[in-house]
Structure 1
Amino acid sequence: MSVLAFDGRMGASGDMILAALLDAGADPAALEPVTDALEVEYRIDETVKCGISSTTVDVFLTDRDGAADEGHDHDHGEQSPDHDHEENDHHSHDHDHSEHDHDHNGVHAEGHGPHRSYLEVRDIVEGMALEPAVERDALAIFELLGEAEASVHGEALEDIHFHEVGADDAIADVVGAVVLCHDLEPDEIVTTPLATGGGSVSMSHGEYPVPTPAVVEIAQRADWSLRGGPVDAELLTPTGAAILGHLADGVESLPSVDLEASGYGAGGYDLDPHPNVLRVLVGEGGRGGLVKDDIAVLETNLDDATPEVLGGLQETLANAGARDVSILPATMKKSRPGHLVKVICKPADRERVARALAEETGTLGVRDAGATHRWIASRMFETVDLEVDGETYAVTVKVASDADGEVYDVSAEYDDAAAVAAETGSAVRDVIRRAEGAFESDQ
């Protein structure tokens, strides 16, 4: 199983993630769908941080009505601080754009270009002609950013207007990071605890402590953990947090990996004696794991549902998009007997499933339990032939395997086995045993 592991001890920003993935061997040509869709270019360079040779990435605007010729001559061979301070409704303090905006070939994208709403950003991503899996991941990252901003500002997701995270450079960071991750084709992406830095940052509403409110909101939705320090500077930006919040699972330490490549993405700050780099390791892990499946879990308590309604939920909720429905006995207020209904569905289906659950049961509220994913087997169905008294019967078996294709369970479908048993006078469990054995003997 191939693993891509981020070492989060110096935090992460969008451009650091891009740079680390490129340094680890991702193909820069994979970024072409972004540069084709936006008036931007990625400038890839090298630098040294505390003795570590590392890669830098800057996003520049192109073809902006001659904006490059405004009398500024900034040498981007020496990186300005690149931690993309993208919190909604404030401005980056990472570099002084009055002095460092331009060079002779373009405008540095940070702090420039249009600011857009969440819905506008979503439309732009959907219009990029990305691979379906890349588009899904990129949209999920912007949804995570939007939900964090909506929670901080008390607004609905659809009403959020991004500032820095809605500009071209942030779109280029997010989509670029997803494209490069897919180019490396890992089976699993993990990160160690992410350093936030410390101190405080100036925002339009005042002085706020690090980590910033949006980063805190994203971390609450992510699988990994935060760690303070090691310096008083903002190390983890909202864009970096959102990218890893969607793509990466949390681990306490770097996993055992047979290394094939490594990469270092440089941040702009010089934080001697700490090398301000994001390290990524690529290689083969241990035994194949299960497959990550993004889900939502909905639940509600019922104390007045009839058996007929409860019995019909499996079918009615499945028609609305539910993947699994569980109904558990529960004790309600005043010791009344009731039921807890738990529903698994895809994140995109949760509003439709919640509405169906409310309509079918009359419940006054459906909770989002906050689950983000589950680990599932890769499943396929095979047909085996059983011979009984000279007649051949077909039985379907479900085959479960891990991410490396190693089969670890074979189960005959009960309905098929029961039909054969009824027709032949055999015991159902005998038909099941023979069908599972027939599949295993053919391997």
Structure 2
Amino acid sequence: MTTAYFDLVSGASGDMILGALVDAGLPIATLEAELNKLHLDDFHLHSKKVLKNCFSATKVDVHVHDHAPERHLADLQKVVNDSDLSDWVKERANRIFYRICEAEAAIHNSQVDKVHLHEVGGVDAIVDVCGALAGMEALGIERIIVSPFPLGRGFVFGAHGEIPLPAPAALSLLKGCPIVGSPIEKELVTPTGAAILSEVADGYGPIPPLTLNAIGYGAGTADFKYPNVLRLILGDSAGESGLISETLVQLESNLDDESPEVVGHVARKLMAQGALDVAVLPAQMKKDRPGVQLQVLAKPAHADSLQNILLAETSTLGVRRSEVRRDSLPRRSETITTPHGDIRVKIAEVPGHAAKVIPEYEDCRTAAEKSGLPLREIYAIAKHDAAHALHLPHDHGHSHDHGHSHDHGHDHGHSHPHDHDHHH
């Protein structure tokens, strides 16, 4: 499993993340090609090698000709949703911008959809967010671990005048993340840097065991007494058990006076806002009343906002919160060409056993609707074709004679916000 470790030597900003990805091997042409999918004509990238306290690093600058003074959440989401970026990038970019607006709304006592963003709403921040996500995807990164966030002190001048460091928005975005103070009187972690890394992180702490493949240094703008860089370490990893361990937050709430329609709506909203899983379980409540228990699994950075949804949109008066450890199988995503269209599959490696192949439901549902075949047959075809194309062991005794012609001789293709008002 390709693992990325972001070592925040001097903090993180959007452009430092881009620089680290390029320095670790992401071709700048690939990054530009991905960003062209945004259909924004008023920017261009400039990448160069620089020295930071004798450390060679890559500096990526986003030069913009954008005259929009501010944007709201709906404007940012429209740019993302109208792009040709992958669904993975779109989903996470939308969540990042939502969380930034949520943090700003709380700070300024406003509403999420009414917050107008200055620096973070600029084209350069859109490029930082979408470029960082697209770059991670292009490098095939499957697991991300981040070191504690170092926070500077002092004051910085922004759109609302002088503000204390760490910036309130950045601090709010780091809820659930490990932080550590720094004597440096500069902004070390920008709101966009905080939002990107807290969104994609699968865990925090020291460098995990891995086989080292590449190292990248992304340069910041300022000069400190030590290198102003973000270090990216790429390698292949798996624990002794072959499993991936991560610490997550589980939220629980019991409901005995809520309508099924509201429960279903809340479950969908929780998933849309970043929950990893939502379960609705039958429960016998006090006074012999039947009810349900809502269980929500989330990354630590998302726990507060998801808890707020439970408190605001259900009849519950409280939410139980606990830390849980999740062990999961290493996995990767591939796209398989079948006679009924391209279908994405997850390949999970099981130590000592054959790999598991899990087709994506939405792709199978679309193929079933177009072909008229039962959904279960599409699943079987996708699993068989994935095993054949990827040379995985599979059940050769399974019959694929579904009463239609299935040409297994066809070709199988498979693929696998930085506050720029004060550059860091």
Q: TM-score category by the smaller chain? A: 0.5 to 0.7
- Is 1:215 paired with 2:170? yes
Residues 264-279 of structure 1: pairs in structure 2 closer than 5 A: 264-272=217-225, 274-279=226-231
**Counterpart residue type for residue 251 of structure 1:** Y
CA contact (8 A) 1:265 1:278 kept: yes
Q: C-alpha offsets along residues 265-304 of structure 1, whole Å, 9 cap, x if unaligned?
A: 01111102x10000000001133435989x9966444467
Aligned with residue 225 of structure 1, among 166, 178, 187: 178
**Aligned position for 1:281:** 233
Q: C-alpha offsets along residues 85-123 of structure 1, whole Å, 9 cap, x if unaligned?
A: xxxxxxxxxxxxxxxxxxxxxxxx7xx644211110000
CA contact (8 A) 1:328 1:341 kept: yes
| Paired-residue identity, % | 33
**Counterpart residue type for residue 215 of structure 2:** S
Pair 1:178–1:318, CA change in 2 (3 A): closer
Structure 2 gaps, min length 5: 272-276, 332-345, 356-393, 398-424
**Counterpart residue type for residue 139 of structure 1:** N
How far did residue 237 of structure 1 move? 0.2
Pair 1:403–1:6, CA change in 2 (3 A): farther
Pair 1:150–1:128, CA change in 2 (3 A): same
Greater radius of gyration (CA):
1
In 1, Cα distance between equivalents of 2:43 and 2:325:
34
Q: Give the number of aligned pairs.
A: 327
CA contact (8 A) 1:201 1:234 kept: yes
How far did residue 29 of structure 1 move? 2.6
In 2, Cα distance between equivalents of 1:319 and 1:203:
37
Aligned Cα root-mean-square deviation (Å): 4.4
Q: Secondary structure at the match of 1:48?
A: strand
**Counterpart residue type for residue 96 of structure 2:** I
How far did residue 326 of structure 1 move? 3.4
CA contact (8 A) 1:289 1:403 kept: no
Report which stretch shifted further, 316-325 or 192-201. 316-325
**Counterpart residue type for residue 46 of structure 1:** K
Aligned with residue 52 of structure 1, among 55, 72, 89: 55
Pair 1:251–1:313, CA change in 2 (3 A): same
Q: C-alpha offsets along residues 236-272 of structure 1, whole Å, 9 cap, x if unaligned?
A: 0000000001011342212122110000001111102
**Aligned position for 1:33:** 34
Aligned with residue 191 of structure 1, among 137, 146, 161: 146
Residues 386-405 of structure 1: pairs in structure 2 closer than 5 A: 403-405=348-350
Q: C-alpha offsets along residues 117-158 of structure 1, whole Å, 9 cap, x if unaligned?
A: 111000001111111111112112111211111221222211
**Counterpart residue type for residue 60 of structure 2:** V
TM-score, structure 1 normalization: 0.62
Pair 1:151–1:316, CA change in 2 (3 A): closer
**Aligned position for 2:3:** 3
**Counterpart residue type for residue 109 of structure 2:** G
How far did residue 227 of structure 1 move? 1.1
**Aligned position for 1:424:** none
TM-score, structure 2 normalization: 0.65
In 1, Cα distance between equivalents of 2:204 and 2:250:
23
CA contact (8 A) 1:290 1:403 kept: no
**Counterpart residue type for residue 248 of structure 1:** A
Pair 1:199–1:338, CA change in 2 (3 A): farther
Q: C-alpha offsets along residues 344-393 of structure 1, whole Å, 9 cap, x if unaligned?
A: 4899xx89x969x95xxxx36685969999665589xxxxxxxxxxxxxx
How far did residue 2 of structure 1 move? 1.6
- Is 1:43 paired with 2:43? no
In 2, Cα distance between equivalents of 1:283 and 1:367:
38
Pair 1:156–1:407, CA change in 2 (3 A): farther
**Aligned position for 1:91:** none
In 2, Cα distance between equivalents of 1:236 and 1:345:
27
Residues 118-157 of structure 1: pairs in structure 2 closer than 5 A: 118-157=73-112
How far did residue 34 of structure 1 move? 1.9
CA contact (8 A) 1:30 1:179 kept: no
**Aligned position for 1:406:** 351
**Aligned position for 1:343:** 295
